Structure 1
Amino acid sequence: MGFLWYSRFLSHHPYIVLILIFVLSSISLIVPLSVKRFPDFSDPQLGFEARGTILSQRLIAWRNLIDSASSKKYFIDNPLEFYYYLQEINLKVLAQMMPLFFVKYGNVTNVKNL
Structure 2
Amino acid sequence: MCLVDVAAPVRRARLTERDPGRWHPEAIDAYIGWAAWDRKHALDPFHRPDVIVENGWPGMVWRRWTGWTAGDPRWRVPLLETTDRSVTESVDQVEQWIIEQRDAHQVGQLPLSHRWAS
Same fold (TM over 0.5): no
TM-score by length of structure 1 reads 0.21
TM-score by length of structure 2 reads 0.21
Between structure 1 and structure 2, the one with the greater Rg is 1
Name the structure where helix makes up a greater proportion of residues: 1
Name the structure where strand makes up a greater proportion of residues: 2
Higher relative contact order (CA 8 A, sep 6+): 2
